[in-house]
Amino acid sequence: MKQYNSFKEIDKDLKLLKLEADINQQKANIDLVYIKRALSFSNIVAELIAYFGTKALYKRIGFQILRKIGL
């Protein structure tokens, strides 16, 4: 446990703790905004389209490779 020699030291540490708490609260708010954006309907639809588009592209490439090697 930290020992304090004056009320000034206590006030200083309390101010630092409050600032750290405020910073952490702001970071949490920013993270929440990013999560909300990531889970938005348009973003989820775009991710699904990209996923299935990539899957279809790989399938087409695979069929072309198989056709070229004669299987």
Which tokens sit at 40?
Answer: 């938005």
Select from 37, 60, 59, 56 the least CA-distant residue to 48: 56
Report CA 15 to chain centroid distance, whole Å.
30
Domain ranges of the chain: 1-39, 41-71
Mean pLDDT of 3-26: 96
pLDDT higher than threshold 70 for residue 49 = yes
Which tokens sit at 11?
Answer: 């006030």
Alpha-carbon Rg for the chain, nearest whole angstrom, is 28
pTM for the structure as a whole: 0.57
C-alpha–C-alpha distance, residues 13 and 19, integer Å? 10
- Return the pLDDT at 71: 65
- Return the pLDDT at 34: 93
- Return the pLDDT at 33: 95
Q: Are 4 and 10 in contact (CB under 8 A)?
A: yes
pLDDT higher than threshold 70 for residue 59 = yes
